């Protein structure tokens, strides 16, 4: 039966089949069939523990199925289908292979019941996802991908260290609630926070995601950070540190988005901001907060995919990724459908009522209010204002409209992207609207029973007031909110500078020391080599010095070796041996 198959193996098996199929139509059918089979698999998967194996003295669990794992599994599988529809026109099927392994390993993390299994899929997730950056095949993408994998392997080493310490001290590798006071838990938390892109461990996200392929970046936005939210919900709910990290994260991403000119890098910083809401919900730890974090992860995957697909479509048809290259060129005339679908995602991320961001984000903010955390509540509200200002207003204005600053002309080659890209955006936008209008679909699959009503009159009025005032402020300062061609320095500056310093040290001082050492050792090696051909030279020189004769060392060492010059009569050796045996016998007899 299909429900006995671990979902991870459905994706990995499909990924391995793709290179074996020659027909392009069959390949396209396969990449769409895999998520469909996986979704049916989820529907037939009852709660419980499955696929357990003994390894040494530990139990490996590939299938821990409960409401928390299922809510993430559902949205991951749905997103994999949407992503494949968006990318189905791609002829470079290596991207599909990498994407399917990436999705499968993420599901492996979601259903892992032990830390060893989690770690294995955690690392496969990092290794497979980097190819979605590399496949763009530009110098910037190769450099960004290299930094991406280095950062994630570093985080994986920290995570593995924590797992080993935990296994040694507790005798268990079960993936369950951790005691934050232990050293092992701190190491494990660090590994999780790096994948969640919590500042200052976040720079890899804004560095790599904008450099990925147009279709690959859609997958990247959905899985790594949200799988990190899942493991935090599983292992560290109620940790106070996460409350403040999440609130700061929500504001941090918004502030950096203000400074961005690259359209996908702006959206990448808003991933940091939105994941901050989820991290904050994990830290608050109440049932409502955990529901809010899980719901917001679900909704975020859908609306962020719409946003990245929209910007990817713009890059696909225009070849431009900077607001300064797009504004004032009346792109709305050429791509009205893309604009309309993008705005669904923009309204969703901005928590506009009737869209899914409203029914999830307000739950996290309300949870902070119910726990009497006014400072956290205020920080989350401020982040929400910034999100609407830049993702909902500034970005679409700068890309599709914008004020002319010179003699900008319309982009003649601009047009709507291929139908499959629009279809994928339409599916995701439809789900954003459906779950926003009828949130019960989402609330019914959350970990705890939901006693929250997002469309209470007070909540709707308060949100609309905030959105209208933000719109008014945008309209007043619209001429000052265009993109500017500049570079924002983030925390990756530190390890980039360290890397350049290390490279300089290796190329200059260290290389000079190596050259000097090599020269000295080479001379010594030559001397030893020549000496080995004339083993009696040192004795000759010593004997000559005793006799008062001066013999040139160079003359001796360059002289051809003649074994007859050093041959000793056999009788001397026999006499010495007899004397030695005679003395040995005397000593032994005594």
Number of helices followed by number of strands (H, E) in the chain: 25, 2
- Residue owning tokens 């294995």: 120
pLDDT, position 2: 42
**Strand, coil or helix: 64:** strand
Distances, alpha carbon 366 to alpha carbons 289, 354, 378, 453, in Å: 8, 18, 11, 10
- Kindly tell me if the per-residue pLDDT of 520 is higher than 60: yes
pLDDT band of residue 408 (cuts 50, 70, 90) is low
State mean pLDDT over 406-422.
Answer: 80
Q: Examine the domain organization and report whether 231 and 254 are in the same domain.
A: no
What is the pTM assigned to this prediction?
A: 0.85
- Kindly tell me if the per-residue pLDDT of 168 is higher than 60: yes
Q: Is the dihedral of CA 375, 377, 380, 381 positive or negative?
A: negative
**What is the C-alpha end-to-end distance of the chain, expressed in Å?**
90
State mean pLDDT over 426-446.
Answer: 95
**Strand, coil or helix: 49:** strand
- Kindly tell me if the per-residue pLDDT of 275 is higher than 50: yes
Q: Is the dihedral of CA 72, 227, 122, 116 positive or negative?
A: negative
Q: What percent of the chain has pLDDT over 70?
A: 89
Helix ranges restricted to H, 534-569: 537-547, 553-558
Residues 6+ apart with CB under 8 A from 542: none
Question: Is 227:195 a contact under the CB 8 Å cutoff?
Answer: yes
pLDDT, position 407: 63
180-189, 474-483, 570-579, range with greatest mean pLDDT? 180-189
Q: Examine the domain organization and report whether 446 and 385 are in the same domain.
A: yes
Distance CA 21, CA 23 (A): 6
Among 236, 253, 286, the domain-final residue is 236
Q: Examine the domain organization and report whether 305 and 330 are in the same domain.
A: yes
pLDDT, position 311: 94
Mean pLDDT across the chain: 88
Which helix (DSSP H) or strand (DSSP E) does residue 50 occupy? Answer: strand 48-55
Q: Examine the domain organization and report whether 583 and 520 are in the same domain.
A: yes
pLDDT, position 481: 66
Among 182, 217, 236, the domain-final residue is 236
Q: Examine the domain organization and report whether 210 and 333 are in the same domain.
A: no
Question: Is 131:211 a contact under the CB 8 Å cutoff?
Answer: no
Distance CA 276, CA 232 (A): 12
| 359 within a domain of the structure (yes/no) | yes
Helix ranges restricted to H, 88-182: 94-111, 115-134, 139-170
pLDDT, position 284: 95
More confident residue, 488 or 112: 112
Distance CA 260, CA 58 (A): 48
Residues 294-341 pLDDT 10s? 999 999 999 999 999 999 999 999 988 888 888 878 888 889 999 999
Residues 548-562 pLDDT 10s? 666 666 666 666 666
Q: What percent of the chain has pLDDT over 90?
A: 62
pLDDT band of residue 564 (cuts 50, 70, 90) is low
| 535 within a domain of the structure (yes/no) | yes
| 554 within a domain of the structure (yes/no) | yes
| 499 within a domain of the structure (yes/no) | no
| 492 within a domain of the structure (yes/no) | no
State mean pLDDT over 479-491.
Answer: 69
Between helix 374-387 and helix 457-476 the angle, nearest 10°, is 50
pLDDT-wise least confident of 202-211, 254-263, 282-291, 349-358: 254-263
Residue 485 phi/psi, 5-degree rounding, is: -75, 90
Q: Examine the domain organization and report whether 100 and 183 are in the same domain.
A: yes
Distance CA 438, CA 117 (A): 36
**Strand, coil or helix: 422:** helix
Question: Is 316:421 a contact under the CB 8 Å cutoff?
Answer: yes
Residues 6+ apart with CB under 8 A from 254: 269, 270, 273, 382, 383, 386, 387, 390
Residue 133: other Cβ atoms inside 10 A = 29
State mean pLDDT over 530-538.
Answer: 66
More confident residue, 476 or 346: 346
Q: Examine the domain organization and report whether 380 and 465 are in the same domain.
A: yes
pLDDT, position 497: 79
- Kindly tell me if the per-residue pLDDT of 154 is higher than 90: yes
Q: Examine the domain organization and report whether 444 and 513 are in the same domain.
A: no
Which helix (DSSP H) or strand (DSSP E) does residue 274 occupy? Answer: helix 263-284
Distance CA 531, CA 316 (A): 70
What range defines the domain where residue 549 resides? 508-589
- Kindly tell me if the per-residue pLDDT of 563 is higher than 80: no
Q: Which long-range contacts (CB under 8 A, 24 or more apart) does 237-240 make?
A: 237/177, 237/282, 237/283, 237/285, 237/290, 238/283, 238/284, 238/285, 239/180, 239/189, 239/282, 239/283, 239/285, 240/283
Residues 6+ apart with CB under 8 A from 414: 317, 318, 329, 331, 334, 335
| 367 within a domain of the structure (yes/no) | yes
| 327 within a domain of the structure (yes/no) | yes
Distance CA 212, CA 312 (A): 10
- Kindly tell me if the per-residue pLDDT of 571 is higher than 80: no
Q: Examine the domain organization and report whether 248 and 211 are in the same domain.
A: no
Q: Examine the domain organization and report whether 232 and 246 are in the same domain.
A: no
Residues 194-241 pLDDT 10s? 999 998 888 899 999 999 999 999 999 999 999 999 999 999 999 999
More confident residue, 576 or 18: 18
Among 209, 236, 263, the domain-final residue is 236
State mean pLDDT over 415-441.
Answer: 94
pLDDT-wise least confident of 77-86, 204-213, 255-264, 567-576: 567-576
- Kindly tell me if the per-residue pLDDT of 1 is higher than 60: no
| 497 within a domain of the structure (yes/no) | no
Q: Examine the domain organization and report whether 397 and 538 are in the same domain.
A: no
* Whether the bond into 298 is cis, omega within 30 of 0: no
Q: Examine the domain organization and report whether 461 and 558 are in the same domain.
A: no
State mean pLDDT over 145-172.
Answer: 93
pLDDT, position 54: 87
CA angle 427, 432, 437 (to 5 degrees): 125
Residues 46-96 pLDDT 10s? 898 989 888 888 889 998 999 999 999 999 999 999 999 999 998 888 999
CA 356 to chain centre: 25
Distance CA 389, CA 245 (A): 23
Which helix (DSSP H) or strand (DSSP E) does residue 370 occupy? Answer: helix 356-370
Tally of domains within the chain: 3
């Amino acid at each position: 039966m299909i429900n006995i198959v671990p979902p991870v193996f459905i994706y990995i098996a499909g990924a391995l089949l793709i290179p074996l199929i020659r027909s392009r139509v069959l390949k396209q059918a396969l990449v769409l069939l895999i998520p469909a089979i996986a979704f049916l698999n989820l529907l037939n998967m009852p709660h419980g523990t499955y696929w357990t194996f003994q390894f040494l003295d530990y139990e490996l669990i590939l299938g821990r199925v409960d409401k928390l794992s299922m809510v993430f599994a559902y949205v991951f599988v749905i997103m994999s289908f949407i992503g494949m529809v968006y990318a189905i026109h791609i002829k470079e099927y290596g991207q599909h292979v990498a994407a399917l392994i990436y999705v499968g390993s993420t599901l492996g993390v979601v259903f892992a019941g032990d830390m060893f299994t989690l770690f294995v899929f955690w690392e496969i997730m990092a290794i497979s996802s980097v190819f979605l950056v590399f496949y763009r095949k530009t110098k910037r993408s190769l450099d960004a991908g290299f930094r991406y994998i280095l950062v994630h392997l570093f985080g994986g080493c920290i995570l593995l260290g924590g797992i080993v310490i935990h296994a040694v001290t507790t005798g268990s590798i079960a993936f369950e609630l951790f005691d934050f006071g232990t050293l092992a838990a701190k190491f494990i938390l660090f590994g999780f926070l790096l994948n969640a892109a919590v500042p200052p461990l976040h720079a890899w996200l804004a560095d790599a995601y904008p450099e990925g392929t147009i279709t690959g970046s859609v997958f990247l936005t959905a899985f790594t950070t949200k799988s990190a939210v899942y493991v935090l919900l599983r292992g560290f709910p109620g940790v106070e540190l996460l409350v403040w990290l999440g609130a700061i994260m929500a504001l941090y991403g918004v502030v950096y988005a203000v400074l961005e000119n690259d359209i996908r890098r702006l959206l990448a910083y808003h991933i940091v901001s939105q994941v901050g809401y989820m991290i904050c919900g994990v830290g608050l730890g109440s049932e409502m907060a955990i529901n809010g974090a899980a719901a917001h992860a679900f909704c975020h995957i859908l609306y962020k995919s719409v946003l990245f697909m929209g910007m990817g479509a713009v890059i696909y048809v225009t070849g431009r990724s900077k607001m300064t290259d797009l504004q004032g060129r009346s792109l709305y005339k050429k791509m009205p459908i893309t604009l309309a679908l993008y705005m669904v995602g923009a309204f969703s991320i901005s928590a506009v009522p009737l869209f899914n961001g409203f029914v999830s984000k307000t739950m996290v903010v309300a949870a902070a209010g119910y726990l009497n955390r006014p400072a956290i509540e205020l920080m989350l509200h401020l982040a929400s204002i910034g999100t609407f200002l830049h993702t909902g207003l500034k970005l679409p204005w700068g890309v599709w409209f914008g004020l002319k600053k010179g003699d900008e002309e319309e982009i003649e080659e601009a047009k709507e992207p291929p139908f499959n890209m629009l279809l994928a955006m339409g599916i995701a936008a439809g789900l954003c609207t459906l779950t926003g209008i009828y949130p019960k679909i989402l609330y019914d699959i959350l970990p705890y029973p939901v006693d929250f009503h997002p469309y209470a009159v007070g909540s709707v009025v308060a949100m609309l007031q905030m959105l209208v005032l933000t719109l008014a402020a945008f309209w007043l300062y619209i001429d000052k909110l265009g993109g500017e061609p500049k570079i924002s320095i983030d925390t990756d500056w530190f390890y980039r500078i360290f890397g350049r310093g290390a490279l300089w040290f290796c190329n200059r001082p260290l290389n000079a020391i190596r050259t000097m050492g090599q020269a000295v050792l080479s001379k010594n090696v030559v001397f030893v080599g020549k000496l080995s051909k004339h083993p009696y030279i040192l004795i000759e020189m010593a004997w000559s010095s005793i006799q008062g004769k001066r013999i040139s060392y160079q003359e001796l060492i360059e002289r051809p070796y003649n074994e007859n010059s050093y041959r000793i009569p056999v009788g001397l050796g026999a006499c010495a041996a007899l004397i030695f045996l005679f003395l040995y016998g005397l000593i032994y007899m005594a």
